[in-house]
Amino acid sequence: MLEVSDDEAQAWETKLKLLYFDLTAEDPAAEEKMSAVDRARIAVQDMRYHDAYQMMLQAAEKGGVREDIILSNMYVKSYDLRTMEEDDSEYDRLWRDATEAQVQLNRTGALWKEEQRNTEKQDNSEIEVVSDLEKEYEEVWAEYSLAQQEITNEAVRRAINYMEYSRPKDWEENIAYQFQLCRLYFMSKQEDEAKECLDRIFAVEKIDQTQWLGTDAHLLRENYILYLSEASRMEYRDLLVTMINHLYQGLFEDDSYDSFVDFVSEYLRSLVGGIVINEIDAGDYPKMSVSVSAVDENIKIDKDSVTLIDTGQTIENFEITEKEVSDLTICFVLDRSGSMSGVSIADAKDAIQQCISVLDDFVKVGLVSFESDAVLECDVTNARAVLSNKLLNIETEGGTNIVAGLEQAYDALQNVGGRKVVILLSDGYDGNSDEKRLTNTLAQLKASGIEIYAIGLEGCDDAYLNRIAVETGGRFISVKDTGELGSIYQVIQQSLIKSYIITYENTDAEKDDRFFKIRCNDSFVQAQKIYSQEDSQDGQENDGWLYMDIQSADYFKQTGGSKEEY
């Protein structure tokens, strides 16, 4: 595809073989010295796909997980269309349907283009009319796409069958086998089965790094706790892609793994974020008190179920007591700007309605809405019906002034005792407030002990909302689908109502900057937070805890901090 001379192409090919195989081009027996995977790689580069398939088929017959994984992926890519039997009626039918759909697509497309050319010559009007041929082309295109997808689905099904048939003895602990099976299940839309494969890889207490892909899996798990900014997010994606390329040993580098990488990343986020560290009190150091919450009722937090680590040292002696909150006020701050119109505002209203309907009686609620300006729709009250009625009458219009909404919430919560929380929802950028106004407002909220849980819909300013949440000791949650809002509000409410107090004495040598980590013993659910023993001696938690990853869906994740940047 590159416009280069034959000499340049030959030089590149020679260099490629030297780099990959450490063999000289002059050696006539070089290919015989290569492994089956190496020879298949050269065949794939030369686009001799059937030859590559035959090489791996012969190698797989002798046994080996590497060969089985490569062969199963060749099924997916249809390197040999008769992978299971010579007389393959199912594949014959699928390819016949696809061929017929392609012929019909080509015919209809040609007629439609001809119609377009004739229309342009005869009619100069700007009114767009959808012709019958255009409708027919769209219908045929849908049929063609479906036929192609059926071929892919059948290929993936056969790949799964092959992997199940060739299951190694150590299949449950075999990282490469589980990772390939995970991708195949994901491609076949069996996400629950794919997640079970990920659990077998990442939920173990310690990953065996001597195993094939063991180092890759270890890096993925250990670096997730450091997964912070957009920059490091891309670095983490690179780790995943590297693991996939190691899995396929350089044979299928032309594939795009974006959707699978997203799936694995999101699932690991859910595993990491099942516990929230609310507060670390080192004011009486070395005696420690840590408040944590579980965002999933299935997560157990007791002495037998969790492991505690303080700055690398496992804490053997600790106590856990359950703490029920009895004085809580939640002020909902809702974006009602023009961009929230339609499904977004409807789903947001429904989510708030669901949330207040299950809150305990002692929880007081308030409601603020904002667009270019903010309005206190409902002052703090125990009368849920009042807030519910006000919520129904909210309509969308205007711009986005997030700070104005926060200022109204601050005023509403001034005369309220107990724990005070703002749940902010927005889908936009605040174009109405300057830096000084935001800084002052956040300082007031923090001084009053008001935490902000910021929920960002698609299109929001992630960094802006993340800063608001972190500076007030709250959480930021990114949401792709407004249909998830109901469960998100309920999870936030659950984490606010019920928490656990962990007490222990740290006997390790004193250090200025420390971290506390809690991990569930039977899964990869964990959370980590930095604290400073020096800054905490007066009872105040370390203000250096600023980094907070952008959260997603119905869970939270906490990780390391920085004293200088968000």
CA–CA dist 318, 103 (Å, integer): 71
Please tell me the predicted confidence (pLDDT) of residue 130. Answer: 56
* pLDDT tens for each residue of the chain, 566 residues long: 456 666 666 656 655 654 554 444 445 555 566 788 888 888 888 888 888 888 888 888 887 899 999 988 888 887 865 544 455 666 667 667 777 777 777 888 787 777 777 776 665 555 455 577 778 878 878 877 777 777 777 888 888 988 988 888 889 889 999 999 999 999 988 988 998 898 888 877 678 888 999 999 888 877 765 554 344 567 778 888 889 989 998 888 767 788 898 888 877 766 655 777 777 888 888 889 998 887 666 788 999 999 998 887 889 999 999 887 778 899 999 999 999 999 889 988 988 988 888 787 888 999 999 999 999 999 999 888 889 899 988 999 999 999 999 999 999 999 888 889 999 999 888 877 788 999 999 999 999 989 998 988 888 888 888 889 888 888 888 777 777 787 677 777 777 777 899 999 987 655 566 788 888 887 767 777 777 765 443 333 333 222 233 333 333 333 333 223 32
C-alpha closest to that of 368 among 342, 398, 407, 329: 407
Residue pair 477/455 in contact by the 8 Å Cβ criterion: yes
pLDDT at 218 (0 to 100):
85
Pick from 144, 50, 154, 65: nearest CA to 106:
144
- Give the number of other Cβ atoms within 10 Å of residue 194's Cβ: 23
Question: d(Cα 218, Cα 25) in Å, to the nearest integer?
Answer: 37
Question: 38: how many CB neighbours lie within 10 A of its CB?
Answer: 20
What is the rounded CA–CA span in Å between residue 425 and residue 384? 19
What is the spatial distance between Cα 518 and Cα 513, in angstroms, rounded to a whole number? 17
Q: How far apart are the C-alpha atoms of 244 and 69, rounded to whole Å?
A: 11
Rounded (5°) CA angle 368-371-375: 35
Predicted local distance difference test score (pLDDT) of residue 438: 92
- Which phi and psi (to 5°) does residue 308 adopt? -110, 140
> What does the alpha-carbon distance between residue 482 and residue 358 come to, in Å, rounded to a whole number?
20
The token pair that represents 291 in the structure block: 């408040």
**pLDDT score, position 114:** 78
pLDDT of residue 414: 92
What is the model's pLDDT at position 548?
Answer: 32
Give dist(CA 65, CA 171) in Å, integer.
Answer: 9
